[in-house]
Structure 1
Amino acid sequence: MKLLEVACFNVQSAIVASEAGADRIELCDNADLGGTTPPLKWLAEIHGIVKIPINVMIRPRGGGFVYTDAEFQSMKDAINAFISTGMVSGYVFGVLKHDRTVDVERTVELVRLADPLPCTFHRAFDETTDLEQALEDVLGCAIHSILTSGGASKAVDARETLARLVKKAAGRVVIMPGGGVRSTNIGALKESTNASAYHSSALLGSDTVANAMEIEQMKMGVR
Structure 2
Amino acid sequence: MTTVEICVSDVPTALVAEAAGADRLELCADLGQGGTTPSLGTVEVALRTLRRAAVRVMVRPRGGDFRVSEVEEQVMLADIAAIRGLPNPHGLAVGVVVGALTTAGDLDLAVLRRLIEAAGPLPVTVHKAFDEVRDQLQAVEDLVDLGADAVLTSGGAPTALAGAPRIAALRERAGDRLRVIAGGGIRSHNVRQVLAETGAREVHLRAPVRRDGREATDGDEVRRVVDATRARTPVQDR
TM normalised by structure 1 equals: 0.95
Alpha-carbon spacing, 1:71–1:48, altered in 2? closer, same or farther (3 Å): closer
User: Structure 2 CA distance, aligned partners of 1:48 and 1:73?
Assistant: 27
Structure 1 outlier segments of 4+, above 6 Å: none
1:99 aligns with 2:104: yes
Contact 2:44 2:87 in 1 (8 A): no
Are positions 1:197 and 2:217 aligned together? no
1:22-33 matches, within 5 Å, as 22-33=22-33
Is the 1:180–1:200 contact (alpha carbons within 8 Å) kept by the matching residues of 2? Answer: yes
Unaligned runs of 5+ in 1: none
Aligned-pair RMSD on alpha carbons?
1.5
SS of structure 1 residue aligned to 2:146: coil
Give the AA of the match of 2:220: M
CA contact (8 A) 2:47 2:87 kept: no
Establish whether residue 153 from structure 1 lines up as the match of residue 177 from structure 2. Answer: no
Q: Which amino acid aligns with 2:34?
A: G
**What is the deviation of 1:86?**
3.2
Question: Which residue identity does 1:190 align to in structure 2?
Answer: L
| Counterpart residue type for residue 65 of structure 2 | G
Q: Report the secondary structure of 2:217's partner residue.
A: coil
The separation in 1 between residues aligned to 2:151 and 2:160, in whole angstroms, is 13
Q: Secondary structure at the match of 2:226?
A: helix
1: CA distance between counterparts of 2:162 and 2:187?
13
Match of 2:78 in 1: 77
How far off is 1:43 after superposition? 2.5
Q: How far 1:47 sits from its partner (Å)?
A: 4.1
Asked if 2 retains the 8 angstrom alpha-carbon contact of 1:10 and 1:209, the reply is no
Aligned mates of 1:153, 1:30 — CA distance in 2: 20
> What is the CA–CA distance in structure 2 between the aligned matches of 1:133 and 1:47, rounded to whole Å?
35
Counterpart for residue 95 of structure 2: 90
TM-superposed CA distance for 1:8, in Å, is 0.5
Match of 1:180 among 185, 207, 215: 185
Q: Distance in 2 between matches of 1:40 and 1:180?
A: 29
Identify if the C-alpha distance between structure 1 residues 76 and 217 changes in structure 2 by more than 3 Å, giving closer, same or farther: same
1:201-212 aligned at under 5 Å gives the runs 201-204=206-209, 208-212=215-219
The equivalent residue for 2:46 is 46
Aligned-partner SS, 2:14: helix
Cα distance, 1:147 vs structure 2 = 0.4
User: Which residue of structure 1 lines up, in the alignment, with residue 15 of structure 2?
Assistant: 15
Structure 2: gaps spanning 5 or more residues: 231-238
Alignment of 1:108 onto 2:109:
no
Which residue of 2 is the match for residue 67 of structure 1?
Answer: 68
* C-alpha distance in 2 between matches for 1:108 and 1:145: 14
SS of 2:139 mapped into structure 1: helix
| In 1, Cα distance between equivalents of 2:181 and 2:46 | 25
Contact 1:8 1:28 (C-alpha < 8 Å) held by counterparts: yes
Equivalent pair of 2:210/2:216 in contact (CA under 8 Å): no
* Aligned-partner Cα distance in 2 for 1:49–1:69: 35
Percent identical across equivalent pairs?
35
The structure 2 residue matched to 1:214, chosen from 221, 224, 237, is 221
SS in 2 for 1:157: coil
Mapped partners of 2:153, 2:61: distance in 1: 20
Give 1:46 shift.
2.9
